Structure 1
Amino acid sequence: MVFFAKSKDTDLVIQAPFAGEVISMNEVPDPVFSGGMLGAGVAIRPSDKESEIIVHAPVAGRVANLFHGGHAFALVTTLGTQVLVHVGLDTVELKGRGFEALVEEGQRVKAGEPVLKVDAALIREAGKDLVTPIVGTDKSQVSGTEVQAGPAEEGVKIATFTLV
């Protein structure tokens, strides 16, 4: 009997969900994210000039969860890796104001496909930081992150998650 070793993809490329400044997770002003409690990742902060932001899928996958209030969503890739996109800090407190889902749970999306429409002006007026963490939530699958910090346009590579 012949056994074939399972081919292992060791990298998951993360694309910028919108244009902005890419920062490492330890720079996110929230200990849940900066402390890695939810997993390894990267974050991006949109320009202060934007009044509306379209958040695009940073990877291809199935929309596993659209969080109540629309402030976050999770995608599951074909490799089974879950990627959480959390738009802003403490934005759950807005109870959906300023967020519009453009997809449905269970829907498959391509990297770069629009997922959320965000009223950035409303969120800033509410005193919320729009820094957006993108996290590989399964710590047993994501062993590390290589971040490409600095300015980035929507759709460009901003990080690589190393998969176990």
Structure 2
Amino acid sequence: MINFIKINSEQVVAPVSGKCVSITQVNDEVFSSKAMGDGFAIIPKDCMVVSPVNGEVVLIAETKHAFGLKTKKGLEVLVHIGLDTVQLEGKGFNVHVKQGDKVKAGDQVISFDKTYVENSSIDMTTMTIFTSGMTEEVCLECYEKQVNQGDILITKI
């Protein structure tokens, strides 16, 4: 029997499986300095990226490497897949939703061709950034640990 975890509107899940790290460890000053907002990062081992929250898709980057979400409570979340992935111009990425779609935490949003990206020598660290509406500092118990896509990382936002 499969057990399904119901994600409520105040939870944030891992958008990808891999090693969870503090946003301050990301090898890009814009993200690590929290200039865009606080958040967390995951060094992915899989190639499917899901929505970390229940909300509306408000942005899909033209180059397919990032997407933005807004929850009913007004929390704005940016998921940015990899560093310098904009250089790939969308090659190797597939988008499974469109702007305006309502998604639930765990719904597929973007997948990428892991072999193609690795052959392009791109750091695929994936950031989840709270660009607006997060009032508390993000400090997770899962830092330096493996997480699975859909694992609940933040229980109240």
TM-score by length of 1: 0.84
Task: Compute the displacement of 1:143 (Å).
Answer: 3.1
Task: Compute the displacement of 1:142 (Å).
Answer: 3.2
Given the alignment, which residue of 43, 46, 53 partners 1:45? Answer: 43
Relative to structure 1, is the Cα distance of residues 43 and 22 closer, same or farther in structure 2, using a 3 angstrom cutoff?
A: same
Task: Name the amino acid aligned to 2:131.
Answer: T
CA contact (8 A) 2:22 2:139 kept: no
Bigger Rg over Cα: 1
1:69 aligns with 2:63: yes
1:141-152 aligned at under 5 Å gives the runs 141-147=134-140, 148-149=142-143, 150-152=145-147
Given the alignment, which residue of 28, 31, 34 partners 1:33? Answer: 31
1:12-161 aligned at under 5 Å gives the runs 12-47=10-45, 50=46, 53-138=47-132, 141-147=134-140, 148-149=142-143, 150-159=145-154
Mapped to 1, the partners of 2:36 and 2:10 lie a distance apart of 17
Which runs of 4 or more aligned residues in structure 1 lie more than 2 Å from their structure 2 counterparts after TM superposition?
A: 140-143, 158-162
Mapped to 1, the partners of 2:44 and 2:64 lie a distance apart of 18
Mapped to 2, the partners of 1:20 and 1:31 lie a distance apart of 22
The structure in which a higher percent of residues are strand is 1
* Structure 1, unpaired ranges of 5+: 1-10
CA RMSD of aligned residues (A): 1.6
* Structure 2, unpaired ranges of 5+: 1-8
TM-score by length of 2: 0.88
CA contact (8 A) 1:63 1:108 kept: yes
Summarize deviations over 1:108-127 as a string: whole Å, max 9, x none.
Answer: 00000000111111111111
Summarize deviations over 1:35-89 as a string: whole Å, max 9, x none.
Answer: 0000000000112xx4xx1111010100000011100000000111110000000
Percent of pairs with identical residues: 35
